[in-house]
Amino acid sequence: MSQSPPDEIRSVPGLLVWWSEHFPERDALYHKAQGWWKPITWRKYLEKVDTAAERLLFMGVFQGDRIAILSTTRVEWTIADMAIMSCGAVTVPIYQSNTSAQCEYIIHHSGCTGIFLEDQEQLDKLLEIWGQVPQMRIAIVFEKFQCEDERVVPFQNLLADKNEPVSEFKVSLARNKIQPDDPATLVYTSGTTGPPKGVVLSHKNILFTARQITTSLDLSPDDLSIAYLPMAHIAERIVASFMKLASGARTAFAESMDDLIFNMKEVGPTFHFGTPRVYEKFHARIMTAIDDATSFQKIIYRWAENVGSREKDLRLSHQLIPWWLHVRHILAKWFVFRKVREFMGGNLRFLISGGAPISPAILEWMQRVGLNVLEVYGMTESTGLISVNFIEDNRLGSVGKALPGTKMRIAEDGEILSQGENVSLGYFADAEATKELVDESGWLHSGDIGRIDEDGYLWITDRKKDLIITAGGKNVAPQNIENLMKTSKYVSQFMVFGDRRKYLTGLLTLDEDEITKFARDRQLIYSDQKELSQLSEVTELIAGEIYRLNKQLASFETIKKYRILEEELSQDDEEVTPTLKVKRTVIEKRYDHLIEEMYK
């Protein structure tokens, strides 16, 4: 019996039907309830989806309708997503951290007629704006809530047993009407340079991408990963849901972001997806543990890291590893690296990094300790992927080769262009922006600058619009410098400025956990984070960190002056997107007085 769905399947829910029919008793999903991990088989998964889809059809959801989901990542999110698509409707994910005004914009712009909500907090956002989005007819809430509005119903009502059986024929009929080019989801970009735009992704876009990445990473039903990042981001949805439907691999839903490491130790994932910030925090926690270790333990760690560095260089360049180094590496893995791996569950075959550029220093370190990180590259408009590194062919610092079945090239101005079935249908209700996105020849314009080496690997150098040109005529990629500065465990965010200026300056925020530990270890007295950031001991610490990291840069790239912001950047203040990408124009305007001060 075939272990993977055939290419003839034309819709995303069609993959779920195939797994339910061929491997009904295999586990598909895991979620924690009453302190225990509970499995959901492929058969039970489809039953829940069909039951919810039948109720949605009964409530008047039709093919092409837009239905939103406003919730953190949880098993109900995926069930609701698949139920919406099974009706032939279109899922519109919204970040749970969005304000009511941000939610209103997306709901109004997309014309959503229904919405799934996580809890009372998210319901209150809807109730606040419902008068401005009168087309919204139904709201379904996952958790308990208090509301007398008859348009608001509990999610359990959709899954509750009825006297009459679920109309499988009605759901199957709706599902069979879906065509490959029909919209499956409408994903709003995080909007670093303006209002978010709705990217229309078809069933064909998703099926193609999920199948290609499954093949590239050699995924199977034996694999498992843990879902924890917002499902409103296409990357987490691809990894946690769509890739699993293409491969039969399993997904465990973390209880929360704070419980991620604990949950990873419990379920032991075989691969893991994270953004650079996730790996930066992981690195910082390990470094803190090493700082607190005994002198003897530090000596053992440095020896093991040196062995890992030699092994990494030979392995990644496909050279033969000498027997003596192989023996040392086995000892290093047993005494040191095993403990680092156990921190993330102990079963990892590889890790994936995407969503933003990751610091080369973090990549090097993870490879040294035996964590094979594959950096990938893509955007929402390319269904999340353009290029990918492979498990056995991983070129550190690059973002891999073009996704199989796609094309990639560099335009005359250095912009990265791609072409393939992963290219979206464009922007919802925005023909002009769609024309700028995809040219007449079908090439997707990424807005990123890069180069392709002689072996076909893509290297990202910067965002097209973010490139800094100093007064001396030097081209500077701010992201490279910002990523380097964030390798300091005390730095949370770093923003570089200096376009048409004589030198570069920076604004930074402090990592609250690490700087608080620093203050506690030195018994510093302060009343709040603002006062802590101004203490002389803290400013001297950061000065030393900037001085140390500046040594790794060319003279024209070094940070000459900087300012420590008193508080972390906030999504509520429109300073960062839900994925923690800095809105540079907002920061420049808000902190213009600090920036100008550094150039006087």
- Cα separations in angstroms, 459 against 72, 231, 365: 33, 27, 19
pLDDT band per the 50, 70, 90 thresholds, residue 360: confident
| 12-270 matches 277-344+376-463 in fold | no
What mean pLDDT comes out for the span 306-328?
94
Specify the pLDDT at position 193: 55
Distance CA 133, CA 131 (A): 6
Question: DSSP H helical segments within 438-492, as ranges?
Answer: 478-485
What confidence category does residue 464 fall into, taking pLDDT thresholds of 50, 70 and 90? low
Q: What are the structural domain ranges in the chain?
A: 12-270, 277-344+376-463, 468-597
Residue 246 has pLDDT above 60, yes or no: yes
pLDDT score for 501: 87
Q: What is the pLDDT of residue 571?
A: 81
Higher pLDDT, residue 4 or 595: 595
| CATH architecture for segment(s) 277-344+376-463 | Roll (2.30)
Residue 214: both structure tokens together: 């499954």
The pLDDT tens digits for 532-552 are: 989 999 999 999 999 999 998
Q: Which fold has domain 12-270?
A: Rossmann fold (3.40.50)
pLDDT number for residue 516: 92
Average pLDDT, integer, range 354-373: 89
**CATH number for the domain whose boundaries are 468-597:** 3.30.300.30
- Please report the pLDDT score of residue 539 as a whole number: 94
Q: How confident is the model at residue 465 (pLDDT cuts 50, 70, 90)?
A: low
- What are the tens digits of pLDDT across the range 191-200? 555 678 999 9
Q: How many CB atoms lie within 10 A of CB 135?
A: 12
Kindly state the average pLDDT of the residues 284-307. Answer: 92
Q: pLDDT value at position 163?
A: 45
Using one digit for the tens of pLDDT, what is the confidence trace for 153-181? 999 988 875 545 456 678 999 999 999 99
Q: Does residue 190 register a pLDDT over 80?
A: no
User: Does 151 have pLDDT greater than 80?
Assistant: yes
* Eight-state DSSP code of residue 394: -
pLDDT > 70 fraction of the chain, expressed in percent and rounded: 97
Q: Which residues pair with 415 in a beta bridge?
A: 449
DSSP state string for 155-203: HHHHHS--SSPP-HHHHHHHHHT--TTSEEEEEE---SSSS--EEEEEH
CA–CA gap between residue 482 and residue 553 (Å, rounded)? 12
